Structure 1
Amino acid sequence: MAEMTPDEVNAYLDSRGGYAVLSTIGKDGYPHAVPLGYFRSGQEIVLPVRGQRKVNILRNPKVAVTVESGTSMKDLKGVVIRGDATLVDDPAAVLELVREGARRRGTAEDQLPTTTRTGAAYVRVSMKKVASWDNTKP
């Protein structure tokens, strides 16, 4: 199984318009894994959080993010990122992240959100340790 180069990892993460699985550690020590929309910002993955995910991150910021694609072993690709999550809950900073995410999805500048929902929060996950695979490579 071939790995991706750092540039290929970034291109792959940027090309995936769907979901990533954010894994946090619950109070009981077990993983809590949930699919969420995401985008890459530099060397960080940005995802919305609330509820149990937010509680878990405040208790233990060590998380994993998984993005994968493929329908058979021949075309399977993916990335697992392990890093520390930094909570962003300041309303102005959250709005900037909401707008950045919308831009990445192709929203026109004049159509970008101007408000966020009360209590909205995001996390920025550092790309401390990255594992990747690309079964389409020879």
Structure 2
Amino acid sequence: MSRRAQIKMTPDEVRSYLAGGRVANVATIGPKGRPHIVPVFYIPAGDGIATWTYGSSQKVANLRRLPEATVLVETGEVYEELRGVSMECDVEIIEETEEIVRIGTELLVKMAKGADEVVTAAAQFIRQQAEKRVGLVFRPTKVVSWDHTKLGGTY
């Protein structure tokens, strides 16, 4: 078996890995044809991820022009700990307020690690922010994954 085959995650492992993460690096294509890469906090959404962002942001302008992105979620400090998922995605821009509020609320729940009092206190803030934001849903068309912990410390 090749090393590449040994470190590839199963679809269930990819979903679990994404569920445990917080930050994704999102690359879109800017107006001059160059990559525009930004970090975003995210929540799992099916086999992909979702987030919210200001509707006037550069990434949204890029996605309105070309609704495709590459998303990277990765962890690890040394070779034998490296884990990650890279996804080429079609991106849906969500402009419906209630769906944006739902995404924003789920993001806060994840960031607050389930602290209900924080989520309750922030409900009005989330609703106000939703008026300036859009939701982004990243649906993978290609997934590449790696989990070097499967190698058991060998190279």
TM-score computed with the length of structure 2 as normaliser: 0.81
Q: Which residue of 2 aligns with 1:127?
A: 140
Task: Kindly indicate whether the alpha-carbon contact (under 8 Å) linking 2:79 and 2:148 is maintained by their aligned counterparts in 1.
Answer: yes
Query: After TM superposition, what 4+ stretches of structure 1 lie above 6 angstroms from structure 2?
Result: none
Q: Percent identity?
A: 30
Q: Which residue of 2 aligns with 1:94?
A: 100
Farther off after superposition, 49-58 or 94-103? 94-103
Give 5+ residue unaligned stretches, structure 1: none
Task: Kindly indicate whether the alpha-carbon contact (under 8 Å) linking 1:21 and 1:36 is maintained by their aligned counterparts in 2.
Answer: yes
Count of aligned positions: 137
Q: Which residue of 2 aligns with 1:65?
A: 71
Which one has a larger percent helix, Structure 1 or Structure 2?
Answer: 2
SS in 2 for 1:71: coil
What RMSD over aligned residues (CA atoms) do the two structures have, in Å?
A: 1.6
Q: Which residue of 2 aligns with 1:11?
A: 16
Give 5+ residue unaligned stretches, structure 2: none
SS in 2 for 1:137: helix
Task: Kindly indicate whether the alpha-carbon contact (under 8 Å) linking 2:52 and 2:103 is maintained by their aligned counterparts in 1.
Answer: no
- 1:35 paired with 2:39, answer yes
SS in 1 for 2:62: helix
Letter in 2 for 1:54: V
Partners in 1 of 2:25 and 2:51 — Cα distance? 10
Q: Which residue of 2 aligns with 1:116?
A: 128
